[in-house]
Amino acid sequence: MLGNKNTKPTGHYDTLISNKSEIRGDIRFSGGLHVDGIIKGNIVADDESGAVLRISETGHVEGEIRVPNVIINGEVIGNVYASKHIELAKNANVSGDVHYVMMEMVMGARVNGNLVHQEESKQPQSKKDKREAVVAIPEVKVD
């Protein structure tokens, strides 16, 4: 969905939560999720999925969000973790901490919490790849 790490998310959404819907429970997804309704639960997508979550101005989420690409123009009560890109649009209202790698914030967006910049996540090295330096210190005898 994203061509490279500097490309903004596209407008293709596989799933729509309409403004007449309320979901209670956690959601795990890949692809695109557009929220016009209410979600009371956590929203999660794997970092490698390139997933995009869009919360419209009528959308409301109560729970933690862990999605690579997030666009918020509605209300979120909970912490947001965007491992790639987050956009806080004009009507965004976030009550919680926002953890981001790249962020766009438009005038009018509100965050009641901390903005925490994260370095782009890299795959952790396995123990086999880690190398330790061994330094030999010669023995010195003093008479």
Look at residue 129 and tell me if it is in a domain: no
Q: How far apart are CA 26 and CA 91, in angstroms?
A: 24
Look at residue 100 and tell me if it is in a domain: yes
Q: What is the pLDDT of residues 1-25, one digit of tens each?
A: 344 444 455 567 889 999 999 999 9
pLDDT value, residue 25: 97
Look at residue 65 and tell me if it is in a domain: yes
This prediction has a pTM of 0.77
Q: What is the pLDDT of residues 78-91, one digit of tens each?
A: 999 999 999 999 99
pLDDT value, residue 119: 87
Look at residue 21 and tell me if it is in a domain: yes
Look at residue 107 and tell me if it is in a domain: yes
Look at residue 136 and tell me if it is in a domain: no
- Residue numbers of the domain that contains 75: 15-117
Q: What is the pLDDT of residues 88-133, one digit of tens each?
A: 999 999 999 999 999 999 999 999 999 999 987 654 444 444 444 4
Look at residue 132 and tell me if it is in a domain: no
Q: Tokens 């438009």 map to which residue?
A: 106
Look at residue 9 and tell me if it is in a domain: no
Number of structural domains (the chain) is 1
